[in-house]
Structure 1
Amino acid sequence: MQPRIPRQSAQEQDCRPPAVGVDDARLSDELAAVVSGARRRAVRDGDRQIDTAHLLHSLLEHDRDVYAVFGDGPQIARLLGYLVQRTIGYGLRWQGTVEDSGAVPVVRDGEGFSPLAASAMEAACRRAVRRGGPRAEGIDLLAAIVADPQARAVEVLARAGIDANELGARIDARSDGRRDEYASDGETAR
């Protein structure tokens, strides 16, 4: 009798994020776990690279702050449904293609992040620096992902009835509130 879940190779079980120009030290532990989850999802899905939809799915699974930005209701349920459908075949039309907006050179080595996902990871690290954080967090990555209208994650959000611009505004409002909290605690707000 065959096992229902295929065994992962040692490479697939590796929890380190793929090296694609994002220094692991610049990621919070939670965000490193998100990247590892997205990597495993990409491998399971048979995709060549981690794309923004893999990152979004993993963010929702692993980061409570990100999940909270979406709130409860039918839209989050629909979003999770689309992401699960993608895992079981919804994204087949994307297999074998590289997620690319044309803004950065395409890396076709078959490993790591898609160009848009790599760009989002770098933008998340820059956002963390701007907010005065020592490391990028999941909310930084979500903000970077929804800022690019060409991202596959933004397409999935739109199919679920979630406006990426409105989501970005909610993220910014939450971030502004956090900066105010830090300032009232006697720390310097940036």
Structure 2
Amino acid sequence: MQNRPPRIPQQPAPNHRAELDARLTDELAAVVTSARRRALRDGDRQIDTAHLLHSLIESDPAVRTAFDGGPQLARVLGYLVQRSIGYGLRWQGSVENSGAAPPGADAGAEGWSPSVATAMAGASRRARACGRERAGGLDLLAALAADRGSRAVEVLERAGVDAVLLADRIVEVPGRG
């Protein structure tokens, strides 16, 4: 018997597994699944960029090495952990839209905020530009860090991480992603 997280009422069932399989590595698909569980546990209707950042850091060693040392990473994780005990409560029940999503973009049907949909598309574009069919963790981290208005960037900056520098550092490393 498999334990399934309870579905939030009025949220359509996610219907993007085949699309995810086509665009993401298995590891990154697992990150999205973990972020979905985190969003449900937090009582959020949609996965936001902070959920993705948290799951990405926890599961991808390459992503952890993109940060400038252990103390910086520890501060980011500290903010992400605090989210469930108060820091992120102001976000609860609201839809994240940093303005990076194209007008009319409705990610709600997938259970993603518009900012997450934009980051996922950006990760896929980055992978294709690097000659890969599927996006990986560093592709997603670069896309998350590039969206200046996202919750993920807010967390990064509160933890003392320069998101622009982080995104640039990821882009400059050939063959990674």
Larger RCO of the pair (alpha carbons < 8 Å, separation 6+):
2
Q: Write the distance in 2 (CA, Å) between the matches of 1:70 and 1:144.
A: 15
Counterpart of 2:129?
Answer: 130
Q: Post-superposition, which runs of at least 4 consecutive aligned residues in structure 1 deviate over 4 A?
A: 108-111
Q: 1:81 aligns with which of 78, 88, 91?
A: 78
Q: Is the 8 A contact 1:45 1:88 kept in 2?
A: no
Percent of pairs with identical residues: 59
Paired AA for residue 47 in structure 2:
I
Counterpart of 1:94?
Answer: 91
Counterpart of 1:118?
Answer: 117
Counterpart of 1:40?
Answer: 37
**What is the CA distance between 1:23 and its match in structure 2?**
1.5
Q: 2:64 aligns with which of 67, 77, 89?
A: 67
Q: Write the distance in 2 (CA, Å) between the matches of 1:71 and 1:131.
A: 23
Secondary structure of the residue aligned to 1:162 is coil
**What is the CA distance between 1:11 and its match in structure 2?**
5.5
Q: Which runs of 5+ in 2 are unaligned?
A: none
Residues 22 and 91 of structure 1: is their aligned pair in 2 closer, same or farther, counting only changes over 3 Å?
Answer: farther
TM-score by length of 2: 0.85
Compute the RMSD of aligned alpha carbons. 2.4
Residues 160 and 32 of structure 1: is their aligned pair in 2 closer, same or farther, counting only changes over 3 Å?
Answer: same
Q: Write the distance in 1 (CA, Å) between the matches of 2:114 and 2:61.
A: 26
Counterpart of 2:55?
Answer: 58
Residues 79 and 111 of structure 1: is their aligned pair in 2 closer, same or farther, counting only changes over 3 Å?
Answer: same
Q: Write the distance in 2 (CA, Å) between the matches of 1:151 and 1:76.
A: 18
Counterpart of 1:169?
Answer: 168
Secondary structure of the residue aligned to 1:70 is coil
**What is the CA distance between 1:67 and its match in structure 2?**
0.8
Deviations 1:132-152 (A, max 9, x none): 012110111111111110110
Counterpart of 1:142?
Answer: 141
Q: 1:29 aligns with which of 23, 26, 31?
A: 26
Paired AA for residue 50 in structure 1:
I
Q: Write the distance in 1 (CA, Å) between the matches of 2:18 and 2:138.
A: 17
Q: Write the distance in 1 (CA, Å) between the matches of 2:77 and 2:69.
A: 12
Paired AA for residue 96 in structure 1:
G
Q: Is the 8 A contact 1:50 1:113 kept in 2?
A: yes
**What is the CA distance between 1:169 and its match in structure 2?**
1.3
Q: Which runs of 5+ in 1 are unaligned?
A: 1-6, 180-190
Aligned: 1:160 with 2:159: yes
TM-score by length of 1: 0.80
